[in-house]
Amino acid sequence: MKNNFIKRNLTKGLLFSLAIASSGISFTSCNGDDTNHMAYGQFEATEVVVSAQTSGILNTLNVDEGMEIKAGQIIGLVDTIQLHLEKVALIKQGASLLTTRPEITKQIASLQSQIINAKKNLVRIQNLLQVQAATQQQLDDAQTGVEVLENKLSALRSSLNITTTHVNAENSIIDIRVAKVQDLIDKSCLASPISGVVLAQYQEQGEWTAPGKPLFKLADMKHLYLRAYLTTAQLKDVKLNDEVTIQADYGNDDFVDYKGRIEWISSKNGFTPKNIQTADSQASLVYAVKIAIENDGRVKLGMSGIVKF
């Protein structure tokens, strides 16, 4: 009986010792990770929704989900026939308007010729008056004739200048309207604003589109960032432009390290998103940070990541 009691106690002691040893190993491993210098988050990208800027039928739209597009690449065209016809009509209207602009030099030439003759006559009468071959009345009439013609010339110049200014202003308005139509024609040619991968397509070739209507969405998959969340205690260890190590989580304890740089730290705290962990399970109010990385093509949107700082 006594021997059985001793055996049972020896067995319990051995099991307890093994449990303590196992617990010690696990505790050391956790301390070695230094979780206070880690944060968790998900990978995101700069996403752009490309919308139409003109109305019309989508003559072409060469995009597919997953397709890589370069910045400035032409990927579609909205029908421009109506815009082209409007531009041609405006150009012809401007050309017609210019024909009404007066030719000032030609229209004042006759008066200028009359003034020259009137001045010659005035000089002749002045010479005759000196030898008493003309009267003062004739001289006064000659001077008045010159003044009348000069006043007519001044009035005509003013009238022609006003007409010219008006025609030029009207033509400038037409030029602006032509430029506006040309801008719409240029914007009918759809180009990608950034280099990226098409995430979603909202319209198909042949459909009607309108200004502001989304066509497709793409994301810059080369320059990703990890949106992570730090506790107040962790903030003292980070600042903008710090270089940190990012571990992308591929599952099954498979991690790949990337170099990252802190681009943004939130100026106010908020509640931890439900799908995000923190090193401190008691932390509810955290500060968001964005850490930029250069993607080698393996990191995908929504993947989990760990930042070590």
| Domain coverage including residue 176 | 82-186
Phi and psi of 93, rounded to 5°?
-65, -40
**CATH code assigned at 210:** 2.40.50.100
Q: 271-288 in b/e burial notation, b at 16+ Cβ within 10 A?
A: ebeeebbbbeeebeebbb
Pairwise CA distance, residues 232 & 223, whole Å: 28
Q: Are both 93 and 175 inside the same structural domain?
A: yes
Residue 16: inside a domain, yes or no?
no
Sole residue written with tokens 């599952």? 251
With respect to residue 7, please indicate whether it lies within any of the assigned structural domains.
Answer: no
Q: Same domain for 301 and 290?
A: yes
125 neighbors 139 (Cβ within 8 angstroms): yes
Whether 86 and 181 have beta carbons less than 8 Å apart is answered as yes
User: What does each of the 309 residues of the chain score in pLDDT, given as a tens digit?
Assistant: 434 433 444 343 333 333 333 333 233 333 345 556 788 899 999 999 999 999 999 999 999 999 999 999 999 999 999 999 999 999 999 999 999 999 999 999 999 999 999 999 999 999 998 988 889 999 999 999 999 999 999 999 999 999 999 999 999 999 999 999 999 999 999 999 999 999 999 999 999 999 999 999 999 999 999 999 888 888 888 889 989 999 999 888 889 999 999 999 988 877 666 555 555 544 568 889 999 999 998 999 999 999 887
Question: pTM for this structure?
Answer: 0.67
How many domains is the chain partitioned into structurally?
3
The CATH number of the domain holding residue 272 is 2.40.30.170
One domain, residues 171 and 206? no
Whether residue 205 is found in the same domain as residue 147: no
Distances in Å between the alpha carbon of 102 and those of 72, 106, 149, 161?
46, 9, 20, 9
In a shared domain, residues 73 and 200: yes
